[in-house]
Amino acid sequence: MAWLGAELNRHIYAYHVLDAPTIPDADYDRMFRELQQLEAAHPEAVSQDTPTSRVGAAPIPEFKQVTHTVPMLSLNNAFSPEDVENFDKAVRKGLAAEQVDYASELKFDGLAISLRYEDGVFVQAATRGDGATGEDVTVNIRTVRSIPLRLRGDAVPRLLEVRGEVLMFKADFAKLNARQRDAGQKEFANPRNAAAGSLRQLDSRITAARNLRFFSYGVGALEGADLPESHAALLDWLGALGLPVSNERAVVAGAAGMLGYYASVGKRRAGLPYEIDGVVYKANRLEYQRQLGFVSRAPRFAMAHKFPAEEALTEVQGIDVQVGRTGAITPVARLAPVFVGGVTVENATLHNEGEVRRKDIRIGDTVIVRRAGDVIPEVVSFVPERRPANAREFVMPTACPVCGSPIVRLEDEAIARCSGGWTHCSAQKKGGLMHFVSRRAIDVEGLGDQLIEQMVDKGVIHTAADLYALDQDKLSSLDRMAAKSAQNVIAALEKSKDTTLARFIYALGIRNVGESTAKALAQYFGNLDALLHAASWEGGIQLLEVADVGPIVARSIADFLTDPQNAELVAQLRAQLRWKEGAHVMKAVGALAGKTFVLTGTLPTLSRDAAAALIEAAGGKVSGSVSKKTSYVVAGEDAGSKLTKAQELGIAILDETALQELLAGAGAASPTEE
């Protein structure tokens, strides 16, 4: 039992802390079950650090209170470079030092926890609570695989309290919410709430299923060992004891060093697998930390430098719908202006009607709005306690608010659409034009959204082709359009005429055709006529030969390009734009297309796989059983029942030579296109 326990703990450490698995999962599971069985038979010999305790235990009635031997404090916050400079000044003044080095690390966005190890064995875990007393979450913390149940090495302290953060990785958070959704249960607003909710479970088996993680960032009580000289060395030491410590840390000099660290982490923030809400600076020398001491509830030697909050509370004042360039109707929450993620947000997308229902967002609700990095703002969830009695549900309009056409929703689509089309619906027209001139499409510099709106509203342009008929006269009739600006627009339009086929295809704004699909189409077909021909032939079936193009995309392309009004627009535009046309090298559609073959028995020279490959290369299909639909049965030595059946059904029977002749003919088959 001792051997199995130690082995399993070694593998858990390798997997969850080092990220370097040492044995296959199945072997691990087998050893784990064996230990469980032995423990059931010999309960008196169960070790304190047995890995079987990580699966959770029977629910407890309530959490016990734990008084922290060393209080768990909080940090003062800095929000600006000046705050950081002032922090550095105060530290240097307090120490009468010229320059101070700071251990800089991430401010993990989870919840603080204190882990108690006695003689190297994990005995207790407590939440921060009010800093003086917290809750005993020992059984729950046992389920966190990266937290060692026994410290590594021979020189373990008699008592060690490790302080750190429990959190949930973004990917685990997404999976958890997907599971909650499928089970019809409430989703968590963010990974921090999910981590807190998972840890504060009276049934620790639930915690065990949630994949929580832990990073150490400090020490509380310590007996029977000396602290190292610096905070950086302290974290190294914790790492050596088998505790998880993040690698994202650095020792930097002075305010400039801290600000540099802040900027560099800011750039990497979105790419981290977990959420952080800032960075933390700590005077690196522990002697300095002792000298500086504490003021009220926070250390003088440390400072949290926060990133702009990515979430904020605000009120939903209304829910409107927006009409996109493909007619997609998107519900948009109109919000009381709120500063979040570094900008003031007044609107946030609700994606589609299903999303509004699923999140149960109503007009009048107080909601959490999130804007992370450059991602468009979104409504995360509403705050139930703050829902007013008169909160109103969103009603999806039945007619397009812009053109009045019916709004339709196909059965298999989440998105409702305006059925007016771009020729009828000015919102789609504007959206389509804005897309057409955008930088990655036709790239007309200086032709902004407002100008397009105005030109469509005034009836100056209707289609992308009209853009190229604009002249000084037409442009001067617009508001805020000086002669010079008009000239610039005309020059930019002229310049945009030199383009590429890929850009042109992308600029058309065909639903489901993004930049990469447009490039693939341009590359595959080489010229516009080949694409148009493929789109018009048998519902665009030939489009499926282009890498990345599946049935849905092929359908969109065929529908778009065969629509008479779109076809006319394409014809007008190709007369105005220029791009290099290439030859379309068609793959021969073999003469065996539509023919089904069945192979049976042993052929004299060809293996069965080789024969099948040759048939398929010539466009034929190979099937395993003979039916009326079989075109040919290729029979070799020892052919059995398949041959008999073919004879009964009167199907043509070939030997290898006859097959080779057929294939030779197929190779010379004429392509369907030049």
Structure tokens at 655: 């030997």
Report if residue 231 touches ligand IVH, rule: CB under 6 A: no
Residue type, 35: L
If the CB atoms of residues 109 and 365 are measured against ligand IVH, the closer one turns out to be 109
Q: Pairing between strand 302-306 and 378-382?
A: unpaired
Smallest gap, in angstroms, from Cβ of residue 108 to ligand IVH?
A: 4
Smallest gap, in angstroms, from Cβ of residue 251 to ligand IVH?
A: 14
Smallest gap, in angstroms, from Cβ of residue 113 to ligand IVH?
A: 8
Smallest gap, in angstroms, from Cβ of residue 277 to ligand IVH?
A: 8
If the CB atoms of residues 280 and 329 are measured against ligand IVH, the closer one turns out to be 280
Close Cβ partners of 140 (under 8 Å, ≥ 6 residues apart): 56, 125, 199, 200, 201, 204, 207
If the CB atoms of residues 304 and 372 are measured against ligand IVH, the closer one turns out to be 304
Among 28, 117, 214, 217, binds ligand IVH (CB under 6 A): 217
Report if residue 188 touches ligand IVH, rule: CB under 6 A: no
If the CB atoms of residues 165 and 172 are measured against ligand IVH, the closer one turns out to be 165
Close Cβ partners of 385 (under 8 Å, ≥ 6 residues apart): none
Smallest gap, in angstroms, from Cβ of residue 75 to ligand IVH?
A: 4
If the CB atoms of residues 293 and 388 are measured against ligand IVH, the closer one turns out to be 293
Among 219, 302, 543, 666, binds ligand IVH (CB under 6 A): 302
Smallest gap, in angstroms, from Cβ of residue 326 to ligand IVH?
A: 44
Q: Which segment (71-79, 325-333, 570-578, 662-670) binds ligand IVH by CB under 6 A?
A: 71-79
Q: Which segment (79-87, 100-108, 452-460, 497-505) binds ligand IVH by CB under 6 A?
A: 100-108
If the CB atoms of residues 112 and 149 are measured against ligand IVH, the closer one turns out to be 112
Report if residue 218 touches ligand IVH, rule: CB under 6 A: yes
Q: Which segment (107-115, 405-413, 506-514, 609-617) binds ligand IVH by CB under 6 A?
A: 107-115
Q: Element (H or E) spanning 519, and its range?
A: helix 515-525
If the CB atoms of residues 107 and 435 are measured against ligand IVH, the closer one turns out to be 107
If the CB atoms of residues 107 and 359 are measured against ligand IVH, the closer one turns out to be 107
Angle between helices 528-536 and 564-576 in degrees, nearest 10? 170
Q: Which of 107, 282, 306, 429 is flagged as catalytic?
A: 107
Q: What angle do CA 199, 69, 142 make, to 5 degrees?
A: 30
- The interface with ligand IVH within residues 165-184 (CB under 6 A) comprises 165
SS (H, E, C) 582-642: CCCCCCCCCCCCCCEEEEECECCCCCHHHHHHHHHHCCCEEECCCCCCCCEEEECECCCHH
CB 298 within 8 A of CB 308: no
Residue type, 14: A
Report if residue 304 touches ligand IVH, rule: CB under 6 A: yes
If the CB atoms of residues 107 and 305 are measured against ligand IVH, the closer one turns out to be 107
Residue 222 and residue 195: Cα distance in Å, rounded? 27
The string of DSSP letters for 174-198 reads HHHHHHHHHTT-PPPSSHHHHHHHH
Q: Which segment (101-109, 205-213, 387-395, 584-592) binds ligand IVH by CB under 6 A?
A: 101-109
Structure tokens at 476: 């001067």
Residue 173 and residue 97: Cα distance in Å, rounded? 45
What is the distance, to the nearest Å, from the Cα of residue 152 to the centroid of all Cα atoms in its chain? Answer: 36
Is there a catalytic annotation at residue 107?
yes
Straight-line distance from the first to the last Cα atom of the chain, in angstroms, rounded to the nearest whole number? 75
Smallest gap, in angstroms, from Cβ of residue 246 to ligand IVH?
A: 8
The string of DSSP letters for 423-441 reads HH-HHHHHHHHHHHHSTTT
Q: Element (H or E) spanning 291, and its range?
A: helix 286-292
Q: Which segment (176-184, 298-306, 363-371, 451-459) binds ligand IVH by CB under 6 A?
A: 298-306
Structure tokens at 347: 């609107």
Q: In a 10 Å sphere around its CB, with 0-12 CB exposed, 13-18 middle and 19+ buried, how is residue 107 labelled?
A: buried
Residue 534 and residue 540: Cα distance in Å, rounded? 6
If the CB atoms of residues 106 and 447 are measured against ligand IVH, the closer one turns out to be 106
Among 16, 54, 107, 371, binds ligand IVH (CB under 6 A): 107
Smallest gap, in angstroms, from Cβ of residue 293 to ligand IVH?
A: 11
Smallest gap, in angstroms, from Cβ of residue 283 to ligand IVH?
A: 12
Report if residue 470 touches ligand IVH, rule: CB under 6 A: no
Q: How far is CA 168 from CA 114, 149, 171, 190, 198, in A?
A: 17, 20, 8, 9, 9
Q: Is the dihedral of CA 137, 139, 145, 149 positive or negative?
A: positive
Residue 392's nearest CA partner among 314, 313, 315 is: 315
Residue 93 and residue 86: Cα distance in Å, rounded? 10
- The interface with ligand IVH within residues 524-543 (CB under 6 A) comprises none
Size of the site for ligand IVH (CB under 6 A): 16
- The interface with ligand IVH within residues 249-288 (CB under 6 A) comprises 280
Report if residue 636 touches ligand IVH, rule: CB under 6 A: no
If the CB atoms of residues 201 and 289 are measured against ligand IVH, the closer one turns out to be 289
- Give the x-and-dash track for 308-347 against ligand IVH (CB under 6 A): ----------------------------------------
Structure tokens at 572: 């007008």
Residue 120's nearest CA partner among 83, 82, 171, 162 is: 162
CB 199 within 8 A of CB 111: yes
Smallest gap, in angstroms, from Cβ of residue 121 to ligand IVH?
A: 25
Structure tokens at 322: 């927006």
Q: Element (H or E) spanning 383, and its range?
A: none
Smallest gap, in angstroms, from Cβ of residue 165 to ligand IVH?
A: 5
Report if residue 105 touches ligand IVH, rule: CB under 6 A: yes
If the CB atoms of residues 173 and 524 are measured against ligand IVH, the closer one turns out to be 173
Q: Which segment (103-111, 266-274, 403-411, 662-670) binds ligand IVH by CB under 6 A?
A: 103-111
Q: Is 285 helix (H, G, I), strand (E, B) or coil?
A: strand
If the CB atoms of residues 279 and 340 are measured against ligand IVH, the closer one turns out to be 279
- The interface with ligand IVH within residues 108-137 (CB under 6 A) comprises 108, 112, 128
CB 311 within 8 A of CB 369: yes
- The interface with ligand IVH within residues 479-498 (CB under 6 A) comprises none
Report if residue 161 touches ligand IVH, rule: CB under 6 A: no
Q: Which residue is nearest to ligand IVH (CB)?
A: 112
Report if residue 191 touches ligand IVH, rule: CB under 6 A: no
Smallest gap, in angstroms, from Cβ of residue 135 to ligand IVH?
A: 15
155 φ/ψ angles, rounded to the nearest 5 degrees: -95, 65
Smallest gap, in angstroms, from Cβ of residue 282 to ligand IVH?
A: 7
Among 148, 299, 377, 526, binds ligand IVH (CB under 6 A): 299
Close Cβ partners of 526 (under 8 Å, ≥ 6 residues apart): 501, 581, 582, 583, 584, 585
Residue 600 and residue 6: Cα distance in Å, rounded? 57
Report if residue 74 touches ligand IVH, rule: CB under 6 A: yes
Interface residues toward ligand IVH, by CB under 6 A = 73-75, 105-108, 112, 128, 165, 217-218, 280, 299, 302, 304
Catalytic residue numbers? 107
